[in-house]
Structure 1
Amino acid sequence: MNNLNANYKRILEVLRKISKEQLLACQRRQPKLSDLELIGLSLTAEYLGIDSENDLFRKLPLSISAKIERSVYNRRRRRLSHDLDSIRVKLASYFNEFENCFIVDSMPLEVCKLSRSSRSKICKETDYSKPDKGYCASQGSTYYGYKLHAICSVNGVFHSIDLSPASVHDINYLKDIRTQISDCTLIGDRGYLSADFQLNLFETCNIKLNTPMRNNQKDYKKQPYIFRKSRKRIETLFSQLCDQFMVRRNYAKSFEGFKTRILSKITALTVIQYINKFIFDRNINNIKISII
């Protein structure tokens, strides 16, 4: 797990299998460290739990650190966020191509403590990306930051992800789902309970939204056990992101940096799942495991 160079080569090998593009189309001259190699280095750092760039460059072998400076690495990584998401989507397609059942949920991402929220300048460079105060029902607490919305398969592979201010209600994410999936069953918690949205999703995209009913609802029926059990899969994924990938510990100061770090952690998780299945033929959700 601590052999950074060997892990980097393994992840880069996977990226080269699924991507033919080594550089951005806008680049006029070839840098010493290609874009694909830079993405591979970023994913390796997330996999090994190195979330400080200073710490990463102290541990890099000379053969890699001589190719790029830390500040250049930081700027290029933010610029490559769109390409990073394309790689994540392509990796997920190997698992989710024939899936017909998905799970939707959200997770709070705190930027700073509530006591500092009024004077904090983190992620406030533009109006559309400003964090906000929100309430997390599962933790029973108010926090300041963002909300990570995600859809994953029953097997535990993220299909779609999105970020919103913490004050945005979970049910608003269902408006974007129509452009991402169709002809499937979608399992959610009580935060997605809405007869109007259920009907709209079914009529427009043939998505059957299944959520547990409230005890005082008319014609109450308990949600089938298979759905209640399947919904725990996405909660386990969120726990893995918090535990190994430390998704809640983020040192970014701008929204672009924050978004790139979150995307890198989720992509690193998907890469490890790909390696587990297609290289070692083992359980894809054994994340704390050697890949070399």
Structure 2
Amino acid sequence: MTITQLQYVLAVAEYKNFTLAAEKCFVTQPTLSMQIQKIEEELDIQIFDRSKKPIQLTEIGQKIVTQAKNIVNEADRIQDIVDLQKGFIGGEFRLGIIPTVMPTLLPMFLNNFIKKYPKVKLIIEELNTSEIITKLKNGHLDAAIAATPLQEEKIKEIVLYYEPFMVYVPENHAKFSKSELEVDDLNVDEILLLQDGHCFRDGILNLCKRNAQSHENKFQIESGSFETLIKLANEGLGITLLPYLHTLDLKESDSQKLKHFTEPKPAREISLIFPKNELKIHIIEALRQTISGVLRGAIAFQNVEIISPLHKK
């Protein structure tokens, strides 16, 4: 059997369809089917149960796919070893970034990175956390930037920075006169939230669940952007919470409505995450150094309490 044949097996296992798997592998469907059949004949077993729709792995097929992932990863590592030996940092690198980090962090480091490492072809996708985890596990991303900890056994996390939650309070609100807010000052029923699926939303809900004022999580409005939440707050529809880096770009009139929490400040942990097999680790490290360099001085909060991004019922 060959590495290519194993890659075909993994594609069919993922997409559960020979035609779609062939398209993703850039070969014809007959070619892919023939190569998989050769492996099955060589091993004298059936990897796939073709009688089911969609196609399913057989019991022995599940074990073979697990081993095939290890073999393909180790084969990819050979190129990593060669690149490291030559000091070469280049090639295609697929990076996922969560939506509440992308608009603020990406402009801070992207230009520096592509100038310093012109041979790296960055392919960047804006994805929510669940999509990132799935794509990392399936080998469709090399790394990602997300809120952590995620408690994923096969994913490694390197902390980039801690980003406090800021409270945006309109002038007509009862809490506007306070210079700093306690978590107990929050009433979850008046907080304007991002739409479901954003880990920043889940962090706010986790923060507010410790608050005795929280009731039945009845929210007036949910939006897909911080800008909309700010406008709604300015209309007197509630308050909202923002990540610290996002507040740096607010106009002066809106900046005056921001309130810090008292210490330890509730914050989210933003990390560079990647599979534990550490493929392309030289590019991952280059990315980490670049981001750390541009953030130095821009965000330096130490006395913080990390709020989990994981959804809690």
Smaller-chain TM-score range?
under 0.3
Bigger share in strand: 2
Q: Which has the larger radius of gyration?
A: 2
Question: Normalising by structure 1, what TM-score?
Answer: 0.28
TM-score with structure 2 setting the length: 0.27
